[in-house]
Structure 1
Amino acid sequence: MASLPLCRSPSSLLPSWPHRPISASFHPKNPSSPVAAHVSVQDPPPQDPAPPSDSSTNGTRPSSNTRYLWVNPNSPRAAGVVRARAGSGRRSRLASAAAVLGACEPAEAAVAAALEAAFPEPPSEQDAVIVLNTAAATRPETAVLALRWFLGNAEVRKKVILYNVVLKLLRKKRRWSETEALWAEMLQDGVQPDNATFSTIISCARACGLPSKAVEWFEKMPEFGCSPDMLTYSAVIDAYGRAGNAEAALRLYDRARSEKWQLDPVICSTVIKIHSTTGNFVGALNVFEEMKAAGVKPNLVVYNTMLDAMGRAMRPWVVKTIHREMVDQQVQPSRATYCCLLHAYTRARYGEDAMAVYRLMKDEVMDIDVMLYNMLLSMCADIGYVDEAEEIFSDMKASMDARSKPDSWSYSSMVTLYSSTANVLGAEGILNEMVGAGFKPNIFVLTSLIRCYGKVGHTDHVVRSFDMLEDLGISPDDRFCGCLLSVAGNTPAEELGKVINCIERSNAQLGAVVKLLVDTSTSSESFREAASELLSSSRGVVKMPYCNSLMDLCVNLNQMEKACALLDAAQQLGIYANIQTRTQTQWSLHLRGLSVGAALTTLHVWMNDLDTALQSGGEGLPPLLGIHTGQGKNTYSDRGLAAMFEAHLKELDAPFHEAPDKAGWFLTTSVAAKHWLEMKKASELVAV
């Protein structure tokens, strides 16, 4: 395009024509230049300035260095300048009208006066849309009044457009009652809603936490001849999930897959959450893999939902894989991400991973509330992380945030931790600190304290802690009674009466059974009947702990006959299920989860069963015999059941040896077992 020439023609050469005065300024490329150029389609270019006189040179009269660029009014460039100037004025006028509307009181007269002043002539439909869209700070009541004014005064062809604009404003403000009222007004005005109307109302209901309303409006769409689009389906699947109608949500999701709709992270996140809440964790994992296969990139919400689901599923190894993938995809984790990781690792007792996440949150100065702290302390108490628990507890006390200060559960976890390690001074110190902080000891604290005293043999302290329970007006529960029963199993015979008295005061029926057990004159059958009645009336979660502790007491008092009778009663009640398994190649005894006394009693009965099978001359023994004790700590033994059992098998000179490739298993062959049983029987005959 040719550049416009600088024109210095005399003004007499300019033709005259009627035109609208418009002027624009042109700034030179070099702003520091003293020469300014002006473009004008109205004013004629001035004459060249006369040569400066001596007076002007001396500074008595300023000289003009201004240049003018003349544009032909008939050229396209002049028309563009006019349109730009006119459009700028319109935008400014509409923005001013929106600002006035935003500051206006929600009164019909005030709104009408403001809009009449802004629009002396009837506004267009586009003007109305722009003003309503721009007035983001407008009160919902004011927006509805403005809508009515525009509907009555503007040149509107499709009223539904204006209604949809105000509905979006109500959605943004989360005003559900006004949304329903505007819907009714819209129908009364004879306006036919469209897909955008329903999509806006459905998403408004979801944003207001009313998923049932979102579903209700979705089901109304066919009545008005509207077909849901993908965005509407996405919102409704989420609404069905939030409303608890998992079946409908999954049905829509299956339809989306079969019809090859474009999935989005919102739909997938909702379906994953539905599967998680219903316990279908495999389904949640399948949806996660399907969305990636379909090319949908998981966002932060999807990753957090999956981490939460796999944490609930107790699959910490999957949680680690998903978190690693999230980091590789450069998705920035949020606080919710770290909370999901802590939930997963603490529930699964992944101590190292949980502590790594905790320290990362500390380094990034993230908010850690008392609930997260208590989860960590509970994990540390269960797996014996003393140093880590003390670090966490110190951080809680040093925190400036009141939401992070220790509560009664924090102190309870610390007492449990010291109790599990038989640290009496530590447990008593935390108890005193708890009372000093204004918290009363609860039944969990006293239960842990009694267990701690029982481990170190402080029977008098056990009784004193029990008296504290009565002083505080706390009623003993099944867990507390089970703790007393466990303490009784490790109490010397000369002090056993003190603990039995506490048991009887806590649970009269349990105390009566313990007295029958201790009384050597009571028959095994009488004890068995009383124990069966007790176990039948007890809650399911305490039946096995009661059996374990009672058999510990039987073994410690050398009442093996009563222990066997109790084991038989427990098996008939289904308390010890699948404790023995038999295949053609291996017979196994499963002792994992049993106390030491219960495991020894079960082993005694199993050995008798092996001897009976050997003597019967029937099918005989299989090629392999195995005892599964599990590995790691045992609830009822500090040494662990595997270590204790290994020592006991050596005492019996039994041919069972720990399997090198199967942790927690002791194996032997039928030949070795047969030889040992025959030698054992022969030695018993010699002893007789």
Structure 2
Amino acid sequence: AEMALRLYDRARSERCQLDPVICATVIKVHSTSGNFDGALNVFEEMKAVGVKPNLVVYNTVLDAMGRAMRPWVVKTIHREMVSQKVQPNRATYCCLLQAYTRARYGEDAMIVYRKMKDEVMDIDVVLYNMLLSMCADIGYVDEAEEIFRDMKSSMDTKCKPDSWTYSSMVTLYSCTGNVPGAEAILKEMAEAGFKPNIFILTSLTRCYGKAGCTDDVVRSFGMLKELKITPDDRFCGCLLTVAADTPVEELGKVVDCIDRSNAELGTVVKLLADRKASTESFKEAARGILSGARGVVKMPYCNCLMDLCINLGQMEKACALLDAALQLDIYSNVQTRTQTQWSLHLRGLSVGAALTTLHVWMNDLYTTLQSGEELPPLLGIHTGEGRNMYSDKGLASVFESHLKELDAPFHGAPDKAGWFLTTSVAAKHWLEAKKSSELVAV
């Protein structure tokens, strides 16, 4: 690798003819070290001095840009490759598949997959599983079922479904609330000699919760003990998500599962649900579990707990939880202020967390006016656009309906998707017409 870099640098400095083999090696070196800009620069420089990339160079730079999560660059390079009449091989298509599946470019990935099928190219279980994982994440049900059928019908043992294959299929059906589909995959998995792991049971539990099958949630929890699997943070987070959507009369069943999975988390949920429990005791218990949780689960835990607060009509506890989360830096940059605009940034929050944050912000604005201070010319709420992972609807559509219910003067910005804006004059008139305790009706 070092020799290739020296040869490349010497060839550049002495204006010697670059060799495609050296260029491919240098691109690979840069890619391996994470210097993806350097890899792309070498590719562009060799073309600029008249060196025509060969198949190896193209495949190497495609692999680099896939690793860099730059699928748009991958598409451009592939188009250039075709226009230069360089014939792609299996390695090329593998690079394309890896790039598109990582970036969740579903349509492009399926085009490549079907091209490989048409040309009878070898597709192993790793590539199949990458495709299925992508399909599960973006809701490509028909495409996933096509891929799954292809795997099962293949005569090549390297293509047969493994535990990750079944996991992706269960996840796919779970995300769409297809209980029969998820259960059929689980049965098929057992017949193939595989036992469900924590990922599959988490997805199955989510599926039952989404469908409102509380008793089946309890049953899937029982499978953990049968299989001697210890509940992890993500499984507990899944139970919290289920609890947030469970009817009050059945909530105790899910809370019991949470308590048996993580006693400390169970205590927090019990204090949340108990209207007689003080807000302060709930806040301290929540602070304890959140401060000790792994970083990747802190926000999901917080989001789900606030959803549960809102669903149970516990706004005071939701506000206390938000305060604890802000103190622990679980949520950052939720509010920004400039001389011309104050903004609330809700992207990435669950519906309950977003409504709680809005409630607190509106009260803050009201307090500002009461103290005699002026609001800036513009006020904005940023929800982001697209689907929200905590809700079947996007946060923007939820907020559009909610703001209308409040008769709030915020309106969708035509030139800024996912933004709701209002003027200080309109906001002041609206805020003064409301009492602080009536600002948000949840």
TM-score band, normalised by shorter chain: over 0.9
Asked if structure 1 preserves the Cα contact closer than 8 Å seen for 2:363 and 2:436, the reply is: no
Which residue of 341, 362, 384 corresponds with 1:630? 384
Deviations 1:411-466 (A, max 9, x none): 11111111111111111111111111111111111111111111121110000010
Partners in 1 of 2:234 and 2:278 — Cα distance?
28
Which one is further off, 624-633 or 556-565?
A: 624-633
Counterpart of 2:394, as a letter, is G
Deviations 1:265-314 (A, max 9, x none): 22222222233233332222222211111222111122112212222222
Q: 1:401-480, aligned counterparts within 5 Å?
A: 401-480=156-235
TM-score w.r.t. length of structure 2: 0.95
Which residue of 393, 398, 422 corresponds with 1:639? 393
Identity %: 81
In structure 2, the partner of 1:574 is: 329
Counterpart of 2:298, as a letter, is K
In structure 2, the partner of 1:344 is: 99
Shift of residue 682, structure 1, vs aligned partner? 8.7
Partners in 1 of 2:40 and 2:409 — Cα distance?
46
In structure 2, the partner of 1:22 is: none
In structure 1, the partner of 2:54 is: 299
The reply on whether 1:614 has 2:356 as its aligned counterpart is: no
Shift of residue 611, structure 1, vs aligned partner? 1.8
Partners in 2 of 1:509 and 1:270 — Cα distance?
53
The reply on whether 1:328 has 2:83 as its aligned counterpart is: yes
Counterpart of 2:407, as a letter, is D
Q: 1:48-127, aligned counterparts within 5 Å?
A: none
How many pairs does the alignment contain?
440
Cα pair distance change 1:683/1:486, threshold 3 Å: closer
Asked if structure 1 preserves the Cα contact closer than 8 Å seen for 2:71 and 2:100, the reply is: yes
The reply on whether 1:258 has 2:13 as its aligned counterpart is: yes
What SS class does the counterpart of residue 680 from structure 1 fall into? Answer: coil
Deviations 1:620-678 (A, max 9, x none): 22222221212222111012212111111111111112222222222222222122111
Cα pair distance change 1:664/1:311, threshold 3 Å: same
Shift of residue 552, structure 1, vs aligned partner? 0.7
Which residue of 422, 432, 437 corresponds with 1:678? 432
Cα pair distance change 1:273/1:559, threshold 3 Å: same
The reply on whether 1:649 has 2:403 as its aligned counterpart is: yes
In structure 2, the partner of 1:597 is: 352
TM-score w.r.t. length of structure 1: 0.62
Q: 1:207-226, aligned counterparts within 5 Å?
A: none
In structure 2, the partner of 1:151 is: none
In structure 2, the partner of 1:554 is: 309
Asked if structure 1 preserves the Cα contact closer than 8 Å seen for 2:7 and 2:22, the reply is: no
Partners in 2 of 1:253 and 1:547 — Cα distance?
52
Partners in 1 of 2:23 and 2:335 — Cα distance?
44
Which residue of 263, 266, 281 corresponds with 1:511? 266
Shift of residue 527, structure 1, vs aligned partner? 1.6
The reply on whether 1:271 has 2:26 as its aligned counterpart is: yes
Counterpart of 1:357, as a letter, is V
Asked if structure 1 preserves the Cα contact closer than 8 Å seen for 2:31 and 2:39, the reply is: yes
Shift of residue 315, structure 1, vs aligned partner? 1.5
Asked if structure 1 preserves the Cα contact closer than 8 Å seen for 2:335 and 2:344, the reply is: yes
In structure 2, the partner of 1:364 is: 119
Deviations 1:472-498 (A, max 9, x none): 111111111100011011111111111
What SS class does the counterpart of residue 435 from structure 2 fall into? Answer: helix
Partners in 2 of 1:305 and 1:629 — Cα distance?
39
In structure 2, the partner of 1:497 is: 252
Larger Rg over CA atoms: 1
Partners in 2 of 1:276 and 1:450 — Cα distance?
40
Cα pair distance change 1:588/1:281, threshold 3 Å: farther
Partners in 2 of 1:258 and 1:300 — Cα distance?
26
In structure 2, the partner of 1:583 is: 338
Counterpart of 1:294, as a letter, is V
Partners in 1 of 2:166 and 2:51 — Cα distance?
46
In structure 2, the partner of 1:283 is: 38
Deviations 1:521-575 (A, max 9, x none): 2222222222112111111111111111111111111111111111111112111
Shift of residue 683, structure 1, vs aligned partner? 9.7
Partners in 1 of 2:155 and 2:110 — Cα distance?
21
Runs of 4 or more off by more than 6 Å in structure 1? none
RMSD: 1.9
Partners in 2 of 1:628 and 1:313 — Cα distance?
28
Partners in 1 of 2:55 and 2:90 — Cα distance?
11
Asked if structure 1 preserves the Cα contact closer than 8 Å seen for 2:18 and 2:46, the reply is: yes
Cα pair distance change 1:284/1:585, threshold 3 Å: farther
Deviations 1:7-40 (A, max 9, x none): xxxxxxxxxxxxxxxxxxxxxxxxxxxxxxxxxx
Cα pair distance change 1:254/1:587, threshold 3 Å: farther
Counterpart of 1:292, as a letter, is K
Partners in 2 of 1:626 and 1:422 — Cα distance?
35
Counterpart of 2:406, as a letter, is L
Deviations 1:128-184 (A, max 9, x none): xxxxxxxxxxxxxxxxxxxxxxxxxxxxxxxxxxxxxxxxxxxxxxxxxxxxxxxxx
Asked if structure 1 preserves the Cα contact closer than 8 Å seen for 2:179 and 2:208, the reply is: yes
Partners in 2 of 1:487 and 1:389 — Cα distance?
25
Counterpart of 1:276, as a letter, is S
Deviations 1:603-629 (A, max 9, x none): 1111122222333333x2222222121
